[in-house]
Structure 1
Amino acid sequence: MANYIIRRLLMLIPMLLGVSVAVFLVLHLIPGDPARMAAGPDASEADIEQIRVNHGLDKPIVVQYGIYLEKIIRGDLGESFQTLAPVTEGIARTFPATLELAVAGMLIAVVLGVPIGIYSALHPRGTADRLVTSLAVLGISMPGFFLGLVLMLVFASMLNWLPPTGRGSFAHLVLPSLTLGLPYVASFARLTRSSMLDVFSEDFIRTARAKGLSWRKLTYRHALRNASIPLVTMLGLDFGRLLGGAVIVEKVFAWPGMGRYMVDAIMVRDIYVVQGTILVFAASVVVINLLVDVIYGALDPRIVYS
């Protein structure tokens, strides 16, 4: 297990290197002058040129990437053009808020979706089963920003139950986490239903039922554990989508997370902030997938890491 984890962590290096190259090229090749945007509309050409020199933007692009890569190796993600503060400080300030939102959204998806899927599997082709199928289509097709605006209109504006924007108390977390997590509830419910029905058809389930084991023990102690591996896989994949969705949700609800930090930087071509946040997003997804692989072994002892 330890050797497997070490190998997976080492694989993180070329992956992040590839991400850094792609992001660096895209940000430097798209039209626009980041130095001019950082200087402002009233800046003189001398001031703009000084910003280019200070940030190394006057050098060839290959040299710029080499300087940037050297900084990454030292743990330095550069400085913001707008605030002149280190990007690492901005990420350290905003990443906990994004992680909080993503975890809350995932909990909503799992806590609501898995029980619904279990109930649907125990009552196949019933009303609940058809309802879950309809909700799955609705959840997948509804844009996150639209759901967020609807929830904000109903619960913040019309009913005045919850604050519409910001971060601070638990009440501030409710609307953005619901916006992030609700579209995934039906997906988890459908996958749970499908996995549970597959397990219910296995021989060991029929044997346990023949021995008189109660449905509660049969469902939660035996069937759910064997059906949970696809759910864990989906959890790892959806976490990356949740981080991507958090970018939009944070902007809609003025949530002070890393996604909003990145979007604001994109608007002003603050390239070091954009590069740093994307690298952290990519590393987070890889680490979550590694944790998912480790959980496989706890759920199924037959899985051997080599």
Structure 2
Amino acid sequence: MGNAEGPTGAEAAGTGATGSRGGESSAAGIAHRVPDLGAMELLLAVARLGSLGRAARELGITQPAASSRIRSMERQLGVALVDRSPRGSRLTDAGALVTDWARRVVEAAEAFDAGAQALRDRRDSRLRVAASMTIAEYLLPGWLIALRAQRPDTAVSLLAGNSAAVAERLLAGEADLGFVEGLSVPAGLDSTVIAHDRLIVVTSPGHRWARRRAPLSAAELAATPLILREEGSGTRQVLDTALGGLARPLIELSSTTAVKASAVSGAGPAVLSELALGEELSAHRLVNIPLADVQLARSLRAVWPTGHRPTGPARDLLSLTRGV
């Protein structure tokens, strides 16, 4: 008995002597010394059912796998836990004590899981999307209808603005996922390209450009006062960069719909996304003016704060955009 108790006392003394110095290594190694939850659940099932075979069936594993898991647990702890016989399986005294500890660990794990699920449910109950105007008006409605079919209980709010405003919303934590149209990704955001778009020059049928035979040059477009989106919009950024500068705007408006309506009224030429002009071009309310020497192409991107890949409803919405 003295020899048996000696090492235990020495170990206890050693643990106390190391104090905080040994605490870090103890915490780091606990996963290697404590059985995993699956093994604990198996031991609890054996205690409840009195049979290793019945416990294995309840947990959906084979009896050999269950036996191997119990033996591994016994080796890990250094004590026998289960006495096996033709009449069934019975816990040893040590096994009964370990089972009591295991029950508390499993109950704590179940409480942890329930809390984590509550956090996921709270996250999944809403989705805040920020999108630049063209995407908000012409692409997002279809994506959100498809998302509702997948997640009918998720409430979605949409904040529409220019690309600069979308970046501000995301960085301030006011949106879970954003969509922008500019040439570059705003600082502090990660992105993925979801579609490609083209800007085209349009006028009303009565404008003099509608009767011209030669394509419009980039220089002539740059020198002409246009109906434009406001500073900070992706459309304005692409146009300004491609032309190397713009004349003073004829009119400056904050939405694609407003720019389009002004062009239809004959106020002047405008440059807009091809996505936004299908109906007006088909009905001949606007005329596409060919460009000679410049391509106004751009990428549409989904964006999110750097290092925070979308999860839950935001991840599902992102996956729906891949079909564009």
Q: Same fold (TM over 0.5)?
A: no
Q: Greater share of strand residues, 1 or 2?
A: 2
Q: Greater share of helix residues, 1 or 2?
A: 1
Q: TM-score, normalised by structure 1?
A: 0.24
